[in-house]
Amino acid sequence: MAKGCDVKPEKITFGGRGKGHGKFELNYGVAVSADNEIFVTDQLNRRVQVFNIDGTFLRLFPTVVPGESKKMYPLSVALDVGPGYLWVLGRSAEVHVAQYSKNGQPIKKFDFISKGVYPVIAMDVRNNKVIVGDKTTIMMFDPNGSRIWTSEVRTVYGIWGVTSDKEGNVLLTDGYKTIQKYNPSGVKIFEFGTFGQGKGQLRSPVGICLDTSGLIIVANFGNNRVDMFTSQGEFVRTIANIELAWAVAMGPCGELVVTSKSINIVTIIPRHLVVP
């Protein structure tokens, strides 16, 4: 466990629909920083809200497009490799991938032509690259916006979640029943998953992240739960039953943060309930 981590005995929930502090209008994305701050995208309010690991509101910032006066509707968020920065993917007339300071200062951005409704973002921390999943395409960018590679994904429903592991591989959810893994060059190397409601089965998997030991955590949206798998796709356990679980993010102390965008709720699951 990381130094200075307190043990939280029970899971915490907060949020609800609205415009005030701690309220949301479609909270799609979530990320947790190394200093235990939770960043939640608040799409229709065009802002990112920041909370501590107990769910207490700290601050918010409007998602102003860097270099422009307009705001974008944020969909997905990822912490930068450099401390003190984050990346937000959002829409205005175009789709932007924008870098902000943790206090909300717009830094820079690049754009791409999106084919999907809900593109998602993650960071390849090992190689300091930006990963974008958009409908049936997975893309790797330099932070300056130069595209490094593109791979087409065989999926009917599109890409709904992305993350990367310590080796620089990209993992994604296909919105139907499978988790797919691509190597750092964009070549598919592995997939797993079966459709259903039974133990270890997936039904509309969306958010995905890894814990510090490489275990795969999936928001099993259609089954209203969050499930854990080994890096080889073997089912480990259901972490929690959470209504309409959407995005997932791990904190440095082992807490798991889950958004339920359809009901505008955030759930914080303490470490001992994630890995008993």
Cα-only R_g, the chain:
17
- Residue carrying the six token digits 């791979």: 151
| Res. 263 pLDDT band, cuts 50 70 90 | very high
What domains can you pick out in the chain, each with its CATH number?
12-274 (2.120.10.30)
pLDDT at 125: 85
Average pLDDT in the 210-220 region? 95
Q: Is-contact 7 53, C-beta < 8 A?
A: no
| Sheet of 256-260, strand order | 12-15, 265-269, 256-260, 247-250
pLDDT at 28: 96
Average pLDDT in the 211-216 region? 93
Average pLDDT in the 140-167 region? 93
| Sheet of 161-164, strand order | 161-164, 170-173, 179-182, 188-192
pLDDT at 195: 95
Farthest-apart Cα atoms in the chain, separation = 49
pLDDT at 7: 65
Name residue 236's amino acid: V
| Res. 53 pLDDT band, cuts 50 70 90 | very high
pLDDT in tens, 61-100: 999 999 998 999 999 999 998 889 999 999 998 999 999 9
Please determine, for residue 1, whether its predicted confidence score (pLDDT) is greater than 70: no
Average pLDDT in the 107-112 region? 96
Compute φ and ψ for 274, nearest 5 degrees: -80, -50
